[in-house]
Copies of this chain bind each other. A is one copy, B any other.
Amino acid sequence: MKVKVVANILEANDRLAAENQKIFDELGVFVINLMSGPGAGKTSVLESTIKEVNGKIKIGVIEGDIAGDDDARRIEILNTPVVQINTGGACHLDANMIRVVMDDLPLKDIDLLFIENVGNLVCPAEFNVGEDIKVMLLSIAEGHDKPLKYPLMFQTSSALILNKIDLLPYTNADINKIKKDALSLNPKLKIFEVSCKTGEGISEWVNWLYSMVNNKP
Protein backbone atom coordinates (compact mmCIF):
# COMPACT_ATOMS: atom_id res chain seq x y z
CA MET A 1 0.00 0.00 0.00
CA LYS A 2 2.64 2.47 1.12
CA VAL A 3 4.88 1.62 -1.83
CA LYS A 4 1.99 2.20 -4.21
CA VAL A 5 1.37 5.68 -2.82
CA VAL A 6 5.02 6.59 -3.23
CA ALA A 7 5.05 5.29 -6.81
CA ASN A 8 2.02 7.44 -7.67
CA ILE A 9 3.62 10.54 -6.20
CA LEU A 10 6.80 9.93 -8.18
CA GLU A 11 4.86 9.36 -11.39
CA ALA A 12 2.81 12.53 -10.98
CA ASN A 13 6.01 14.42 -10.24
CA ASP A 14 7.73 13.08 -13.37
CA ARG A 15 4.85 14.32 -15.50
CA LEU A 16 5.16 17.85 -14.08
CA ALA A 17 8.96 17.71 -14.41
CA ALA A 18 8.61 16.94 -18.13
CA GLU A 19 6.37 20.00 -18.51
CA ASN A 20 8.94 22.17 -16.73
CA GLN A 21 11.70 20.83 -18.94
CA LYS A 22 9.70 21.69 -22.07
CA ILE A 23 9.36 25.28 -20.86
CA PHE A 24 13.10 25.51 -20.07
CA ASP A 25 13.98 23.98 -23.47
CA GLU A 26 11.81 26.43 -25.39
CA LEU A 27 13.53 29.32 -23.64
CA GLY A 28 16.99 27.80 -24.11
CA VAL A 29 17.75 27.59 -20.40
CA PHE A 30 20.19 24.88 -19.29
CA VAL A 31 19.07 23.63 -15.88
CA ILE A 32 21.16 21.96 -13.18
CA ASN A 33 19.61 20.32 -10.14
CA LEU A 34 22.32 20.84 -7.49
CA MET A 35 22.19 18.36 -4.64
CA SER A 36 24.22 17.41 -1.54
CA GLY A 37 23.93 16.66 2.14
CA PRO A 38 23.64 19.59 4.55
CA GLY A 39 26.66 21.87 4.70
CA ALA A 40 28.60 20.40 1.77
CA GLY A 41 28.86 23.92 0.34
CA LYS A 42 26.29 24.19 -2.45
CA THR A 43 25.77 27.93 -1.97
CA SER A 44 29.50 28.57 -1.63
CA VAL A 45 30.12 26.75 -4.93
CA LEU A 46 27.39 28.86 -6.54
CA GLU A 47 29.03 32.04 -5.22
CA SER A 48 32.42 30.97 -6.58
CA THR A 49 30.85 29.95 -9.90
CA ILE A 50 29.01 33.24 -10.35
CA LYS A 51 32.22 35.19 -9.61
CA GLU A 52 34.31 33.07 -11.98
CA VAL A 53 31.73 33.26 -14.80
CA ASN A 54 31.61 37.02 -14.27
CA GLY A 55 28.74 37.62 -16.70
CA LYS A 56 30.10 35.54 -19.59
CA ILE A 57 26.88 33.53 -19.42
CA LYS A 58 23.76 34.62 -17.54
CA ILE A 59 23.06 32.63 -14.40
CA GLY A 60 19.84 32.39 -12.39
CA VAL A 61 19.22 30.50 -9.16
CA ILE A 62 16.29 28.85 -7.39
CA GLU A 63 17.13 28.25 -3.74
CA GLY A 64 15.41 25.44 -1.88
CA ASP A 65 15.43 25.29 1.90
CA ILE A 66 13.10 23.98 4.54
CA ALA A 67 13.19 27.41 6.20
CA GLY A 68 14.99 30.72 5.87
CA ASP A 69 16.32 32.86 3.02
CA ASP A 70 20.02 33.09 3.92
CA ASP A 71 21.09 31.40 0.71
CA ALA A 72 18.97 33.60 -1.56
CA ARG A 73 20.43 36.69 0.09
CA ARG A 74 23.96 35.41 -0.55
CA ILE A 75 23.13 35.06 -4.27
CA GLU A 76 21.20 38.32 -4.54
CA ILE A 77 24.15 40.49 -3.50
CA LEU A 78 26.04 39.04 -6.47
CA ASN A 79 23.48 40.72 -8.78
CA THR A 80 22.09 37.38 -9.84
CA PRO A 81 18.37 36.72 -10.22
CA VAL A 82 17.21 34.37 -7.47
CA VAL A 83 14.03 33.07 -5.87
CA GLN A 84 13.79 31.24 -2.58
CA ILE A 85 11.51 28.26 -2.01
CA ASN A 86 10.73 27.31 1.58
CA THR A 87 9.45 23.75 1.62
CA GLY A 88 7.98 24.08 5.13
CA GLY A 89 9.11 20.63 6.19
CA ALA A 90 9.60 18.72 2.96
CA CYS A 91 13.05 17.24 2.55
CA HIS A 92 13.38 17.78 -1.21
CA LEU A 93 12.18 20.02 -4.00
CA ASP A 94 9.59 18.65 -6.40
CA ALA A 95 8.55 19.68 -9.89
CA ASN A 96 5.44 21.51 -8.74
CA MET A 97 7.44 23.80 -6.43
CA ILE A 98 9.62 24.77 -9.41
CA ARG A 99 6.54 25.34 -11.58
CA VAL A 100 5.15 27.75 -8.99
CA VAL A 101 8.25 29.95 -8.78
CA MET A 102 9.76 29.79 -12.28
CA ASP A 103 7.77 32.78 -13.54
CA ASP A 104 9.41 34.92 -10.88
CA LEU A 105 12.73 34.62 -12.74
CA PRO A 106 13.59 36.41 -16.01
CA LEU A 107 14.02 33.03 -17.74
CA LYS A 108 14.35 34.58 -21.22
CA ASP A 109 17.55 36.28 -20.08
CA ILE A 110 19.03 33.25 -18.32
CA ASP A 111 21.43 30.75 -19.94
CA LEU A 112 22.08 28.59 -16.92
CA LEU A 113 19.64 27.99 -14.07
CA PHE A 114 20.85 26.34 -10.88
CA ILE A 115 18.20 24.75 -8.71
CA GLU A 116 19.81 24.35 -5.30
CA ASN A 117 17.97 21.52 -3.61
CA VAL A 118 17.35 21.00 0.11
CA GLY A 119 20.48 19.67 1.84
CA ASN A 120 19.80 15.94 1.81
CA LEU A 121 21.83 13.13 0.27
CA VAL A 122 18.79 10.89 -0.18
CA CYS A 123 15.36 12.08 -1.27
CA PRO A 124 16.23 14.84 -3.79
CA ALA A 125 17.74 12.18 -6.10
CA GLU A 126 14.29 10.62 -6.54
CA PHE A 127 12.45 13.74 -7.64
CA ASN A 128 13.12 15.24 -11.07
CA VAL A 129 12.31 18.93 -11.22
CA GLY A 130 12.73 19.51 -14.96
CA GLU A 131 16.53 19.68 -15.04
CA ASP A 132 18.92 18.82 -17.88
CA ILE A 133 21.38 17.24 -15.49
CA LYS A 134 21.89 16.57 -11.80
CA VAL A 135 25.15 17.62 -10.13
CA MET A 136 26.05 16.59 -6.60
CA LEU A 137 28.53 17.84 -4.03
CA LEU A 138 30.29 15.93 -1.32
CA SER A 139 32.39 17.64 1.31
CA ILE A 140 35.71 15.98 2.05
CA ALA A 141 34.80 16.31 5.74
CA GLU A 142 31.89 13.89 5.22
CA GLY A 143 34.32 10.97 4.87
CA HIS A 144 34.98 8.37 2.22
CA ASP A 145 32.15 5.95 2.93
CA LYS A 146 29.39 8.01 1.33
CA PRO A 147 29.18 6.60 -2.25
CA LEU A 148 28.36 3.05 -1.12
CA LYS A 149 25.96 4.31 1.55
CA TYR A 150 24.03 6.75 -0.65
CA PRO A 151 24.30 5.11 -4.07
CA LEU A 152 21.28 6.64 -5.84
CA MET A 153 22.56 10.21 -5.80
CA PHE A 154 25.92 9.13 -7.21
CA GLN A 155 24.17 7.04 -9.86
CA THR A 156 21.85 9.80 -11.04
CA SER A 157 24.36 12.66 -11.11
CA SER A 158 26.36 13.72 -14.17
CA ALA A 159 29.06 15.37 -12.09
CA LEU A 160 30.41 15.16 -8.55
CA ILE A 161 32.07 18.16 -6.93
CA LEU A 162 34.39 17.06 -4.13
CA ASN A 163 34.27 20.26 -2.12
CA LYS A 164 36.35 21.58 0.83
CA ILE A 165 39.38 19.82 -0.63
CA ASP A 166 41.47 22.21 1.53
CA LEU A 167 40.36 20.19 4.60
CA LEU A 168 41.89 16.97 3.23
CA PRO A 169 45.10 17.19 5.32
CA TYR A 170 43.04 17.53 8.52
CA THR A 171 40.72 14.55 7.98
CA ASN A 172 41.08 10.79 7.61
CA ALA A 173 39.14 10.84 4.32
CA ASP A 174 40.58 8.68 1.53
CA ILE A 175 39.82 10.67 -1.62
CA ASN A 176 40.88 7.83 -3.90
CA LYS A 177 38.33 5.54 -2.30
CA ILE A 178 35.61 8.15 -2.82
CA LYS A 179 36.50 8.45 -6.50
CA LYS A 180 36.84 4.69 -7.03
CA ASP A 181 33.51 3.87 -5.35
CA ALA A 182 31.69 6.75 -7.07
CA LEU A 183 32.95 5.63 -10.48
CA SER A 184 32.03 2.01 -9.75
CA LEU A 185 28.44 3.21 -9.23
CA ASN A 186 28.52 5.55 -12.23
CA PRO A 187 31.44 5.14 -14.67
CA LYS A 188 30.45 8.29 -16.60
CA LEU A 189 30.55 10.54 -13.52
CA LYS A 190 32.67 13.64 -14.05
CA ILE A 191 34.59 14.48 -10.86
CA PHE A 192 35.90 17.91 -9.82
CA GLU A 193 38.08 18.56 -6.79
CA VAL A 194 37.22 22.02 -5.51
CA SER A 195 37.92 24.41 -2.67
CA CYS A 196 35.83 27.56 -2.44
CA LYS A 197 38.30 28.80 0.16
CA THR A 198 41.43 28.60 -2.02
CA GLY A 199 39.71 28.70 -5.44
CA GLU A 200 41.25 25.37 -6.43
CA GLY A 201 39.35 23.59 -9.19
CA ILE A 202 36.76 26.31 -9.80
CA SER A 203 37.98 27.17 -13.31
CA GLU A 204 37.92 23.50 -14.43
CA TRP A 205 34.36 23.21 -13.15
CA VAL A 206 33.30 26.46 -14.86
CA ASN A 207 34.90 25.43 -18.16
CA TRP A 208 32.90 22.22 -18.04
CA LEU A 209 29.75 24.26 -17.35
CA TYR A 210 30.41 26.36 -20.48
CA SER A 211 30.67 23.20 -22.57
CA MET A 212 27.42 21.84 -21.13
CA VAL A 213 25.52 25.10 -21.71
CA ASN A 214 26.88 25.51 -25.24
CA ASN A 215 25.98 21.95 -26.19
CA LYS A 216 22.38 22.18 -24.98
CA PRO A 217 20.36 20.79 -27.91
Contacts and interface: CB of A to CB of B under 8 A. Distances in A.
Interface string A148-170: 11111000000000001011001
A73 to B, nearest CB: 11
A99 interface: no
A38 B142 contact: yes
A68 interface: yes
Interface residues of A, number: 40
Interface in A67-84: 67-68, 70
Interface in A112-144: 118-123, 126, 139, 141-143
Q: How many copies does the complex hold?
A: 2
B2 A151 contact: no
Contact of A118 (B9, B68, B122, B171): B122
Given A121-B119, A122-B118, A171-B167, A152 B37 contact: no
Judged by DSSP, the binding face of A is loop
Given A119-B121, A141-B164, A68 B38 contact: no
A91 interface: yes
A145 interface: yes
